[in-house]
């Protein structure tokens, strides 16, 4: 029987499956990586983390030699558990059977778990049914696997996920189910306790007093007139709260967080008989909190807005869609990618082969925003070519809705530029960013906070094209605007300082680079958390500086933290993690840890093969770097 002690293995689990079942493999990977182990279970069993990461999922066809590749062998060796997706295709797969056989021969037969997605009569691979002893030697008995079945007439997806997790953690299934129930009850209790009510005019007056003192008397009269109907009052308040958002109206007299806090306190005491007003007001507060970088607060109010809207006898479908668009964007920002994908799966219509997403949705503001946000999710998940296709369609859709010049078009161009940049298409990215920047300046002027994101992307692109002085100039301009518009610890300032630190490193100004990166790291750690790719990138860049100044041991520690951050947020098979694997490998080689360095380099190449086209500049340079690395090792 497995124990609950922390495992030394690199992977929490290895997912074995036939490529015919890739859809199930992707769902399972997202579900496991997104799961948070309950705190009391972590403490009771002294687990080293509350995450089920990393998970290894092989996406490559194996060689025809009959042997598993070295990468697969290593991954099986370094995996605590094996999850087999059982289907007729898996039962007939030579490679699934071989992976199960090898894993059991390692003496880990009690850590094989099954996800049944086909008929039980013909879905279990033969090796799954073979019983082995503690040394991995097959016995004469046949085992009867206890499989999780995601079918609607069996465990269901949620039940199947929990059943597998209970096996991975070796805790009782009932204990996990009770945790899920408690979580739902807490949420319902919170929503019930926050079923609130109206104080619309007082909220209006308190916000007006700080947002625009000169207009207070006139706006009070407007508020009183609009209070005749709840709909009119709601529209008025939404405009007020939007005016506190620096992305909409820079230069407000009072910090937006203070305005929102006052409004939220009053919402908590009033409007009991106005659920429509409450739904719209909560969603507005949540969206403004999100724009300001306060993600926990944003999630609280958006979830409450959704629950309030759903409780109505006749929920407004457009309002539900807008709330969910914001929830999906928030999930992408906080890298809860499973949740984001699930929301988009519910919102987006099916697209047949040969159709384009932009052609099957209505040409209106909601759908234009939704297609844009879905494209952003694709590049966040490392699907850069898919993101380029979707965001190009989003630009076309926004143009049909708004005309040739509009802030929404500029925003979508900005996102397209990032996708092109990550795909290695830097010249195209620069042209797109420059178009977005020119449009934003034409619409909002040269000092609007929205420019900060475009300037950051443009700086990153020109830096990769080798124009360091231009990159430095763009970042300095972005920081000037951001520091005038945002709190000192806004994530936008963290991102911009991180970019400036990279440029200073490239310019070999190592002392200033470390100073700037350290300041950026504190902001990103506070606002994004340790398990976020922005924090991982900051740790990686600081490690690069330590390598440059000869502090290799310190660099190793930072690189290892960076790996944990990347894997905890994006998973171990995301293209953003390739560089940190390869750079840590070089550091390990400098410290004489050659075998570990080789394994990391091979892992980097495997992820690159899985996620990047062979023509991607980084995929090419990585193979060349590895060849040089092997030559150096042989020379030693």
- Give the domain-ending residue among 126, 153, 188: 188
pLDDT digits (tens, 9 = 90+) for 543-588: 999 999 999 999 999 999 999 998 888 888 888 889 999 999 999 9
Let me know whether 76 and 184 are in one domain: yes
Let me know whether 219 and 148 are in one domain: no
Q: Which helix (H) or strand (E) holds 130?
A: strand 130-132
296 within domain boundaries: yes
196-200, 224-228, 599-603, 614-618, range with greatest mean pLDDT: 599-603
Cα gap 499→579, rounded to integer Å: 17
Q: What is the pLDDT of residue 262?
A: 62
* Nearest of 87, 167, 160, 151 to residue 125 by alpha carbon: 87
What is the three-state SS of 463-489?
HHCCCHHHHHHHHHHHHHHHHHHCCCC
Token digits of residue 580: 């940190």
499 within domain boundaries: no
* Nearest of 220, 214, 215 to residue 202 by alpha carbon: 220
Q: Which helix (H) or strand (E) holds 14?
A: strand 11-16
Q: What is the pLDDT of residue 429?
A: 95
Q: What is the pLDDT of residue 527?
A: 87
Q: Report whether 417 contacts 406 (CB < 8 A).
A: no
Let me know whether 81 and 167 are in one domain: yes
pLDDT of residue 490 exceeding 70: yes
622 within domain boundaries: no
pLDDT of residue 348 exceeding 80: yes
Let me know whether 99 and 198 are in one domain: no
Cα gap 156→323, rounded to integer Å: 27
**Residue recorded with tokens 């689990």:** 13
Let me know whether 231 and 146 are in one domain: no
* Nearest of 577, 564, 530 to residue 422 by alpha carbon: 577
* Nearest of 1, 45, 26 to residue 610 by alpha carbon: 26
Cα gap 308→316, rounded to integer Å: 11
pLDDT digits (tens, 9 = 90+) for 174-202: 777 765 554 443 333 332 333 322 233 33
Let me know whether 137 and 233 are in one domain: no
Q: What is the pLDDT of residue 253?
A: 44
Q: Report whether 496 contacts 484 (CB < 8 A).
A: no
Let me know whether 22 and 169 are in one domain: yes
Place 61 in a pLDDT band, splitting at 50, 70 and 90: very low
Q: Which domain does 158 fall in, by range?
A: 11-188
70 within domain boundaries: yes
Cα gap 123→117, rounded to integer Å: 8
Domain tally, the chain: 2
580 within domain boundaries: no
Let me know whether 43 and 167 are in one domain: yes
Let me know whether 142 and 286 are in one domain: no
390 within domain boundaries: no
Let me know whether 126 and 264 are in one domain: no
Q: Report whether 582 contacts 601 (CB < 8 A).
A: yes
Let me know whether 182 and 213 are in one domain: no
- CATH number reported for the structural domain that contains residue 112 in this entry: 3.40.50.10140
């Amino acid at each position: 029987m497995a124990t609950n002690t922390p495992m030394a293995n690199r992977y929490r689990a290895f997912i074995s499956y036939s490529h015919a079942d890739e859809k199930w493999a992707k769902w399972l990977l997202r579900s496991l990586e997104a799961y948070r182990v309950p705190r009391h279970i972590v403490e009771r069993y002294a687990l080293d983390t509350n995450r089920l990461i990393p998970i290894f999922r092989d996406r490559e066809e194996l060689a025809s030699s009959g042997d598993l590749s070295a990468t697969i062998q290593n991954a099986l060796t370094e995996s605590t558990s094996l999850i087999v997706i059982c289907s007729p295709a898996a039962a007939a797969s030579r490679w699934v059977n071989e992976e199960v056989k090898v894993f059991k021969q390692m003496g880990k037969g009690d850590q094989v778990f099954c996800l049944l997605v086909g008929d039980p009569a013909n879905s279990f691979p033969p090796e799954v049914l073979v019983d082995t002893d503690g040394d991995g030697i097959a016995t004469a008995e046949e085992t009867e696997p206890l499989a999780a079945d995601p079918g609607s007439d069996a465990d269901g997806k949620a039940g199947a996920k929990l059943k597998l997790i209970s096996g991975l953690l070796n805790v009782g299934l009932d204990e996990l189910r009770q945790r899920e129930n408690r979580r739902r009850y807490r949420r319902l209790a919170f929503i019930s306790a926050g079923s609130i009510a109206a104080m619309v005019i007082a909220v209006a007056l308190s916000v007006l007093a700080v947002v625009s003192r000169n207009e207070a008397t006139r706006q009070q009269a407007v508020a009183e007139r609009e209070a005749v109907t709840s709909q009119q009052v709601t529209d008025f308040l939404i405009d007020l709260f939007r005016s506190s958002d620096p992305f909409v109206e820079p230069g407000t007299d009072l910090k937006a967080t203070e305005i929102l806090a006052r409004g939220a306190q009053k919402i908590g005491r009033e409007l009991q008989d106005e659920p429509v007003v409450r739904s719209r007001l909560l969603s507005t507060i949540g969206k403004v909190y999100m724009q300001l970088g306060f993600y926990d607060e944003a999630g609280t109010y958006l979830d409450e807005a959704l629950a309030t809207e759903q409780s109505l006898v006749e929920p407004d479908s457009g309002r539900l869609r807008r709330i969910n668009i914001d929830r999906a964007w928030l999930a992408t920002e906080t890298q809860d990618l499973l949740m984001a994908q699930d929301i988009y799966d519910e919102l987006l219509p099916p697209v047949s082969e040969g159709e384009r997403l932009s052609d099957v949705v209505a040409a209106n503001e909601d759908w234009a925003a939704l297609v844009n946000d879905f494209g952003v999710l694709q590049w966040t998940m490392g699907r850069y070519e898919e993101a380029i296709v979707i965001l190009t369609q989003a630009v076309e859709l926004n143009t049909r809705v708004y005309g040739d010049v509009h802030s929404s078009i500029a925003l979508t161009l900005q996102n397209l530029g990032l996708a092109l940049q990550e795909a290695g298409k830097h010249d195209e990215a620069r042209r797109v960013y420059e178009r977005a920047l020119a449009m934003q300046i034409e619409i909002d002027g040269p000092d609007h906070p929205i420019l900060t994101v475009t300037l950051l992307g443009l700086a990153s692109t020109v830096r990769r094209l080798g124009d360091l002085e231009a990159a430095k100039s763009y970042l300095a301009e972005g920081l000037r605007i951001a520091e005038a518009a945002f709190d000192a610890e806004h994530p936008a300032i963290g991102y911009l300082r991180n970019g400036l630190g990279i440029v200073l490193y490239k310019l070999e100004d190592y002392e200033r680079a470390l100073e700037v990166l350290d300041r950026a790291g504190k902001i990103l750690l506070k606002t994004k958390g340790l398990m976020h790719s922005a924090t991982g990138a900051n740790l990686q860049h600081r490690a690069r500086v330590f390598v440059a100044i000869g502090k290799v041991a310190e660099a190793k520690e930072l690189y290892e933290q960076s790996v944990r951050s990347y894997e905890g947020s994006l998973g171990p098979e995301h293209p953003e993690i390739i560089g940190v694997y390869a750079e840590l490998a070089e550091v390990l080689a400098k410290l004489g840890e050659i075998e570990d360095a080789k394994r990391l380099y091979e892992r980097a190449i495997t992820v690159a093969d899985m996620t990047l086209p062979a023509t991607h500049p980084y995929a090419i340079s990585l193979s060349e770097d590895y060849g040089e690395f092997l030559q150096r090792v042989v020379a030693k």
